[in-house]
């Protein structure tokens, strides 16, 4: 029998799989709403368990919207007219996975892996506390723990 485990907060290296539009039924209003599902595949786990996804609204008009934050992270800059995040399918990113304002674990931020400082470029990132080498890995774990603690304090303090 499969054992349920919750993905721990941390930094994960993952490949962008794309964003798809989904129509869902709002549980409060019972109305159909359109949402975007941003999908990533953790490099260290090619199974469906390694898929990390986030639903957002569909507005890129406000810098405070989750869709805008996801697009900004994928593009590596603020979106411009004509930008298409789907051109980045297959690119590798560092995902910051932690609690949102409601306390639910989710993707809190995305940065292109080439500029990410927490995940090791030569290895796929697992939760930062697993399988680490002594000195460098202790520093990376501390940096990851500090980043997650900051996100818990104020999730809106992401750099994008």
Per-residue pLDDT 10s for the chain (160 aa) are: 667 778 899 999 999 999 999 999 999 999 999 999 999 999 998 888 889 999 999 999 999 999 999 999 999 999 999 999 999 999 999 999 999 999 999 999 999 997 545 444 334 444 444 443 445 556 555 656 666 566 566 655 554 4
> What is the Cα–Cα distance from 39 to 42, expressed in whole angstroms?
10
Cβ atoms 93, 42 nearer than 8 A: no
> What is the Cα–Cα distance from 158 to 160, expressed in whole angstroms?
6
For the chain, what's the residue count? 160
> What is the Cα–Cα distance from 30 to 57, expressed in whole angstroms?
17
């Amino acid at each position: 029998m499969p054992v349920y485990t919750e993905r721990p907060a941390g930094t994960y290296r993952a490949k962008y799989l794309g964003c798809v539009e989904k129509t869902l039924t709002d549980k409060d209003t019972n109305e159909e709403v359109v949402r975007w599902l941003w999908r990533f595949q953790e490099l260290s786990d090619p199974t469906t368990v390694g898929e990390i996804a986030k639903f957002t609204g569909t507005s890129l008009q406000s810098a405070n919207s989750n869709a805008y934050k996801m697009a900004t992270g994928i593009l590596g800059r603020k979106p411009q007219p004509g930008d298409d995040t789907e051109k980045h399918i297959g690119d590798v990113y560092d995902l910051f996975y932690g609690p949102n304002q409601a306390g639910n674990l989710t993707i809190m931020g995305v940065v292109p892996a080439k500029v990410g400082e927490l995940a090791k470029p030569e290895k796929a990132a697992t939760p930062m506390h697993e399988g680490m080498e002594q000195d460098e890995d202790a520093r990376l774990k501390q940096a990851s723990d500090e980043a997650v603690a900051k996100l818990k304090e104020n999730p809106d303090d992401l750099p994008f």
